[in-house]
Structure 1
């Protein structure tokens, strides 16, 4: 006789979804709730905040002609890297011009090239990633509201008192 133990599905904050971005072309998108994505995104925001502060962005002292500013990696480039690393996970139907008819494997560098040609892919991936995270959060809230199902085990409650061992004494002090 074979036994099968089924487990309740986990709340899938790292779920994925395939999205068609053109006829015959799909990208696999991961969740924006992925802890690695969230951590990397927070790091980029801190970096940008430091750069803004250093150059006085948003103040009267800001000078966009400052020679050092172009040397700093742009926020756009960092966010595209972030999406290519943590949000877009794979694709189907993408070909290189040198090899028509042959699907090219997904890499972050190729994904950056695709986003350079089709910036809408970046926004589509972010929108889907956010939707996946939102739905996982909604499922978690729904699950938290449901009462636990009864088990086949015995009734739980207060534990019975432990017996004193023979020869042991208990001392009460006031």
Structure 2
């Protein structure tokens, strides 16, 4: 009698999906379950929590007049950088202003410029990345139930 060891199916936490952002233009979005995305998001949250603690935000001791000057990046800039670096992976059909018809190579810096011009790209990337992560979780639950 022979035996086999069943390999657990790999869950693609780094899965991606192409999403159209305008006619002829699309972005490749990764999962919010990606370890790099999650760890960098956690760093941003810890940074913001630290600022809240320094200024006593959310306590009866908070006073904007008494708050020491704290230098920090804008939350929205940090989140746009996170999405541009770790969630949006590539694009197609996007040209630079100076060279119409010539495809712009993807870079996080150019992606941030795109998001500034079209803020809905940010929200679409978050929604798509979350959907990919949710589907990964659903697959994991189905797989767990089968065993």
The alignment's TM-score, normalised by the length of structure 2, stands at 0.88
* Residue correspondences, number: 140
Stretches of 4+ moved more than 3 A in 1?
64-67
Greater Rg by CA: 1
- Runs of 5+ consecutive residues of structure 1 not aligned to the other structure: 1-6, 148-174
Residue 72 of structure 1 and its aligned partner are, at CA, apart by: 1.3
- Cα RMSD after superposing both structures: 2.0
Alignment-derived partner of residue 55 in structure 1:
55
Residues in 1 aligned to 2:114 and 2:8: alpha-carbon distance in whole angstroms: 38
Residue 52 of structure 1 and its aligned partner are, at CA, apart by: 1.1
Query: Cα distance 1:126–1:68, how it changes in 2: closer, same or farther (>3 A)?
Result: same
Alignment-derived partner of residue 168 in structure 1:
none
Alignment-derived partner of residue 141 in structure 1:
141
Alignment-derived partner of residue 3 in structure 2:
none
Q: Summarize deviations over 1:41-66 as a string: whole Å, max 9, x none.
A: 11110000000111122345231796
Alignment-derived partner of residue 13 in structure 1:
13
More RCO (CA 8 Å, sep 6+): 2
Alignment-derived partner of residue 95 in structure 1:
95
Residue 67 of structure 1 and its aligned partner are, at CA, apart by: 7.4
Residue 68 of structure 1 and its aligned partner are, at CA, apart by: 2.7
Alignment-derived partner of residue 28 in structure 2:
28
SS, match of residue 39 in structure 1: helix
Residues in 1 aligned to 2:23 and 2:103: alpha-carbon distance in whole angstroms: 14
Residues in 2 aligned to 1:120 and 1:66: alpha-carbon distance in whole angstroms: 34
Residue 146 of structure 1 and its aligned partner are, at CA, apart by: 1.4
Higher helix share: 2
Residue 101 of structure 1 and its aligned partner are, at CA, apart by: 0.4
Residues in 2 aligned to 1:97 and 1:22: alpha-carbon distance in whole angstroms: 16
SS, match of residue 14 in structure 2: coil
SS, match of residue 18 in structure 1: strand
